Amino acid sequence: MMSGIIDLISIGIALLACLFAIVGTIGLFRFSDCYTRLQASSLAATTAPFTIFILSLINAGDVASAFRILLIMVFFLISSPTTTHIISRYAWFSGIIPWTKPGDKS
């Protein structure tokens, strides 16, 4: 009985990861400039794998595997936003200006 519940939770988490990836992909095509596209892609590139890591934690067989997965999660949470920040700073210093609404004076 407990195995069936864990399987249902695992399927739900896997579907959630797919949803995050799909929303991020849609954002890449829908948004207009590199900054908003970068935000959508970094959100998808962080949340989709993170939910897969949580799925792996649920299905981890032993404590050593769970600890390794937690270490990977910490590394991922540090490296992904840092990389996004570096890319957006480079775009800003390269002279790429953010999109604004026509007539916006800010």
Question: Is the pLDDT confidence value at 105 over 90?
Answer: no
How many domains does one find in the chain?
1
Burial of 64 (0-12, 13-18, 19+ CB in 10 A): exposed
Examine residue 99 and state whether it is found in any structural domain, yes or no: no
Examine residue 98 and state whether it is found in any structural domain, yes or no: no
CA atoms within 13 A on the CB side of 44: 16
pLDDT at residue 106, as a whole number: 62
Question: pLDDT tens digits for 48-102?
Answer: 999 999 999 988 889 999 999 999 999 999 999 899 999 999 999 999 988 887 8
What domain range is 84 assigned to? 2-93
Examine residue 53 and state whether it is found in any structural domain, yes or no: yes
Question: pLDDT tens digits for 11-42?
Answer: 999 999 999 999 999 988 999 889 999 999 99
Examine residue 100 and state whether it is found in any structural domain, yes or no: no
Examine residue 51 and state whether it is found in any structural domain, yes or no: yes
Residue 20's CB: how many other CB atoms inside 10 A?
Answer: 20
